[in-house]
Amino acid sequence: MRELLGGKGANLAEMTRVLGPERVPGGFTISTEACVAYMERGEIPEGMDAQVNEAVERLERATGKRLGDAEDPLLVSVRSGARTSMPGMLDTILNLGLNDASVEGLAARTGNERFARDSHRRLVQMFGNVVRGISGERFEDAISQAKSKRGVKLDTELEAADLSALTDAFREICREETGEDFPADPRTQLEAAIRAVFDSWNGRRAVEYRRLNGIPDSWGTAVNVQRMVFGNKGDDSGSGVAFTRDEITGAPEPSGDFLLNAQGEDVVSGVRNTADLDEMGRLLPDAHDELIEALHTLERHYGDMQDVEFTVEERRLFLLQTRTAKRPAQAAVRFAVDAVAENLLGKGAALATIEAERLDALLHPTFDPQKDFDVLARGVAASPGAARGAIVFTADEAVEKGGAGEDVILVRPFTEAEDVAGFAAAKGILTSEGGKASHAALVARGMGRPCVCGAADLDIDLRGGVVHVNGHDLKEGQQIAIDGSTGAITLDDVPLIEPEITDEFRTVLEWADELRRLRVRANADNPRDAAKARAFGAEGIGLCRTEHMFFGADRDRLVKEMFLAAEEWRRAHLRDEREEEDAGAEDERKRRSAEVDERFRKALHGLRELQRGDFEGLFHEMRDLPVTIRLLDPPLHEFLPVEHFEAELEAVRERGAGEDELARAKHGLTLARELHEANPMLGTRGVRLAVLYPPIYEMQVRAIIEAAAAAGQAGEQPRVEIMLPLIAYETELERARAVVESAAADAVEAAGREVPHSIGTMLELPRACLVADRIARHADFFSFGTNDLTQTALGLSRDDVEAKFLGRYVEEGIIDRSPFETIDEPGVGELVRVGTERGRAANAELKVGICGEHGGDPDSVGFFHRAGLDYVSCSPYRVPIARVAAAQAAVAEAAAKIDS
């Protein structure tokens, strides 16, 4: 029932059923529907206040305590609970129900005045920060002053009188900042806290987190009101966070953080350095044993690794929350493999526990183990992977510099929810406080960012913009490197190396290959990328962009000469068709045409030799796997920029070149200007080149066939697929296919060797998808180019909108995610579905794939599976992710059939 109760509320109910009410403090949940209604109307839904009062009364009867009672008060926590975990992004208020009267009753009832005063000051502090919006620094400064006055270092060393004075100081801060007194009435506190949790759903940090994680704005959050239990009652009490397995490696031993005489907020805030569970076992052995048993029960029940919040009150264990543990990719893979070995899960279910997107972290650099470096300091290894970059001290700086392309490391004493945008922009995170369950650690692991926490040797002066550590003063902009797998921090320029696929990861990929239907290829334009793709398990090349082979200083001149010669050739032959001349003029025309033809032939020959070598490298790396080669598809302005020819003409003039060279430079500029287009992405590109300049495509086809013939001669069996881009009309494909077939036949005859090949097309235009049945009659395969299909279907220029307004669309909730990251299923996705269905209706043997960037996005891969495609193609580093995502889609489909 997590859609209605939120993840926390649903799991609290489930934990109560599994472990019993004596282990889970009682309470009630306000549904996500109430939050949605509140957001729509701007006010608490009618009747909700009465229902809350009834629920409070039920809780009072169950506990034998009353909210705000002067003798034995009931205290509650008010906590958020979205349907999917958003750690630290939404608000929480603890100790609700205390005032000047009830705090006296709490002190008398427990015989622990310090505990009562501490709970009261925590309520005023959290209420002021969360409900009233007062900066947390004002309260922390007051605490620091109180400790300084008392001459102590720790919060726990403050006495009851100090805490009472702090509470008064906090109330005065509230009065100064808001003009209102802190509310003494517990029901008023509760109403305000519920509103604050609802409002936190649309807080900046929550919105930013949802944008980064693709969580819809429309879900809303539940609110959980739960009886308080207290870990701050003394040395027989404490709070912590436990994981059923090691949250970094996935090893099958529970781990976590624990603080004696503390509430849960102390553990997760990162303000205090924590102990581990072994230390808890030494201090509170009975509670520790009960915790380990409960962790085992919960993991077996949920069939997944759990993240559990707990409190020990006077040696009695209480569990406050369980949720599926956020863990880095290496831990997710280890858990999946171990879960199958332990008969906890089957292969399909184990694969389903892995967030495919997070596997990217296993494919990132690490410190070179062969290189020595000086360790400046060490902290807690909180999120794996290594990173280098310039120090920045704020999330805003990380966003600014990271957005400009600079590698940065976000360095903070501890992080808060407001820093989430900086996590996305930074290469790594470094904090001086906190442990594995701190905000920094949790968010970094969720985002796949390397993170080192709790590096206590670091004295981070945010105001001064400097880090003092072991005799060094590190300022903003200085380079630093961190290893989130070992906790090491260094100033040395340690080389980063590419990772290797572990045995566990290889096992997971083997399972994925057993279970998936969708094939996975890679986009690769050179032998190096092809080799990487094959190493990552690609089953062929789904897109080789031949225009990318033309970039490079050694080819730039040849390409420009070819395109200029091609346009001259086109104009010359156009004149041949139109002009009727006398004999003398005809001889001159033939001479000029012969010169143009020779320049064009020479340019084509030079590029043909280069392309043949390129293709031979690809065929060698892929051997007997299919290689789909897209013929030339560049907007001409990429190869004939007017600015280049203007600069060339100016250089010719400056060096005083002869008339012939000057005339050629002027002619080149004239042609470039004439070929310039107002909207080149929808201009002379793709198959239109085959219509205007057939010899270009003929040259490429000959190079492909010659390279394949050479590979065959060497004992390889290349599977050649020639793809024609940007088809809108079936007649375009019919004509272009004839060009390809003729050139291929000539090349086969010249090679004296058969080269099996197929000819297909990219579907990148809405019209092509709608008339796919007509196009399919002339195609052996379809490949959806979803990058351009998204642009043409939505009327968006990717290069422009992503920098200008697409982010605003996400912020405003117009769209949940960029359509260039995840396929727009209702629009672009429907075009893919229609194109596939209509194409196969006309050609039952039609093979259908996709080669846009969406081919490496797990959500999009799931859609392509459901749409019935045969394969996806993505960048080499996304191939393992796509393999797992394809298997997960097949598993989900099978499970849905069983459920139905």
Q: What's the CA gap between 374 and 790, in Å, rounded? A: 49
SS (H, E, C) 102-136: HHHHHHHHHCCHHHHHHHHHHHHHHHHHHHCCCCH
- Left if phi > 0, otherwise alpha if psi is -120 to 50, otherwise beta: which for 239? beta
Q: What's the CA gap between 219 and 214, in Å, rounded?
A: 12
- Give the DSSP H or E segment for 381: strand 380-383
Q: Return the structure tokens found at 372.
A: 């020595």
Q: How far apart are CA 194 and CA 201, in angstroms?
A: 12
* Residue at token pair 């109560």: 16
Say whether 35 is catalytic.
no
Q: What angle do CA 536, 541, 543 make, to 5 degrees?
A: 125
Instruction: Spot the catalytic one: 174, 544, 851, 874.
Output: 851
- Nearest residue to 201 via CA among 92, 93, 89: 89
Residue given tokens 């893919």 in the structure block: 832
Please give the biggest Cα pair distance in the chain: 120
Buried b (16+ CB within 10 A) or exposed e, 653-688: eeeeeeeeeeeebeebbebbeebeeeeeeeebbbbb
Q: Where are the alpha helices (DSSP H) in 239-303?
A: 264-269, 277-283, 285-302
Is 68:76 a contact under the CB 8 Å cutoff? no
**Residue linked to tokens 């299919």:** 626
Structure tokens at 309: 């919040």
Paired tokens of 409? 């490391």
DSSP label of 131: I
Residues in contact with 248: Cβ distance below 8 Å, sequence separation at least 6, in sequence order: 255, 327, 328, 330, 331, 381, 382, 383, 384, 436, 485
Which token pair is 3?
A: 């859609």
Comparing CA positions, the residue from 795, 784, 787 lying closest to residue 832 is 784
State the catalytic residue, choosing from 439, 778, 854, 865.
439
- Which residues does 665 contact at the CB level (< 8 Å), separation at least 6? 645, 648, 649, 652, 657
- Beta-strand ranges (E) seen in 432-581 are 451-453, 459-461, 466-469, 472-475, 479-483, 488-490, 496-497, 519-523, 541-545
CB 233 within 8 A of CB 314: yes
Strand-pair partners of 307: 243, 323
Annotation says 288 is catalytic? no
Burial of 105 per CB tally in 10 Å (0-12, 13-18, 19+): middle
- The phi-psi region of residue 375 (left if phi > 0; otherwise alpha if psi is between -120 and 50; otherwise beta) is beta
Contact (Cβ atoms closer than 8 angstroms) between residue 257 and residue 435: yes
Distance in angstroms (rounded) separating the CA atoms of residues 286 and 289: 5
Residue 474 pairs with which residues in a beta bridge? 467
Distinct helix (H) and strand (E) counts, the chain = 34, 31
Answer for the pair 383, 358: CB distance below 8 angstroms, yes or no.
Answer: no
Q: How many CB atoms lie within 10 A of CB 148?
A: 10
217 is written with which tokens? 């704005």
Compute how many other C-beta atoms are within 10 angstroms of the C-beta atom of residue 245. 23
Q: Which amino acid is at 791?
A: Q
233 close to 112: Cβ distance less than 8 angstroms: yes
Query: Using an 8 Å Cβ cutoff, are 482 and 430 in contact?
Result: yes
Which one, of 772, 767, 690, lies nearest residue 735 by Cα? 690
The catalytic residues are 439, 851
